[in-house]
A = this chain, B = another copy of it.
Amino acid sequence: MSQSEFDIIHRYFSGPSWPLSQDVVLGAGDDCAILNVPGGKELMVSTDTLVEGVHFPMNWDAGLIASRALRVNLSDLAAMGADPLACTLALTLGSAEEIWLQQFSDAFRSLSVEFEIPLVGGNLAKGPLSITIQVMGTVAAGKGLRRSRAECGDEIYVTGLLGEGAGGLKVIQDQRSESEFADLLMAYCHPHPRLIAGQKLLGLASAAIDVSDGLMADLGHLVRASGVGAQLNFDEVPISENLIKLVGTEQAREMALTGGDDYELCFTAPAELRSQILSTDFGVMVTRIGKVTAAGAGVTLLDGNGQAIDLAATGYLHF
């Protein structure tokens, strides 16, 4: 793609409609982009790859691919409380089809404007379709939300509704009514990176992670990194009426715990900040779902009576 690479970048991925910012000293087109990291800030960096047929269905709409790829990456910035600075895009595709490139780049540009994350560089290679995005953001030095700083006695919260991503995937797989389950589909196709919530949690949350692998797994990562344990109240995990309508209450709860692809934030905070947290406008609902305990037990699930539930023994974990 050596010759046409320049044409494609010029035609689809550059021009005055693409956003820049005062911290982009030099955008795409040189050997490197040049970025300014403002004084007193630290740089946050994360990268993710989506491969066709693995992370999204074959022959998926190009605009959906761009949207999901960038949103999933932005979610990692959100989980650290970072303010988006810039991103790069390494796009590998089999052939340079005009319609595909137009749809992909239109969607990418539109999100780049919406989330104020200029595209400052990239690479175009010939090969099986895959999209690798690296996002960069900034946060006040020393203030970034890490996974590793939850403390025994902290309370556990989650933004938004859980299980929606897994529900949306099921709507697609089972070819259910797209209009009836539009919210679930949206949650899967266009997950909303909780950037504002992450930034507002700076100074409030003791630890945070985004829910990409499922709440049980991701909260597990957080408590291991922090050297603590957690009790999760099964009944308090927020699920939607739509998800219950799709799969019933029991499976909805299971999807909320293990489904993944939600890209909500799970965070911990000292108990004395509860009223402040519950009265803050994070741009999304926030639900208290458990508490941080001493190390050793990992994540324990409790029923409404405070009794431990063995999730594996319930037989729910079948999908």
Contact = CB atoms under 8 A, between A and B. Distances in A.
Interface of A: 2, 25-26, 29-37, 39, 42-55, 75-77, 79-80, 82, 86, 88-90, 92, 120-123, 125-128, 130, 132, 134, 136-137, 139, 141, 144, 146-148, 208-210, 213, 225
Residues of A contacting B: mostly: strand
B48 A90 contact: yes
Contacts of A30: 80, 146-148, 225
Given A51-B126, A127-B54, A128-B127, A76 B45 contact: no
Contact of A121 (B35, B47, B126): B47
A69 to B, nearest CB: 12
A42 B45 CA distance: 15
Nearest to A198: B31
Quickly give the copy total for this chain: 2
A32 B144 CA distance: 9
A132 to B, nearest CB: 4
Nearest to A45: B33
A50 to B, nearest CB: 8
B130 A45 contact: no
Nearest to A46: B32
B210 A125 contact: no
Contacts of A139: 34
Contacts of A134: 47, 88, 90, 134
A31 B54 contact: no
Contact of A31 (B92, B136, B147): B147
**Among the interface residues A31, A37, A148, which one has the most CB atoms of the partner chain B within 10 A?**
A31
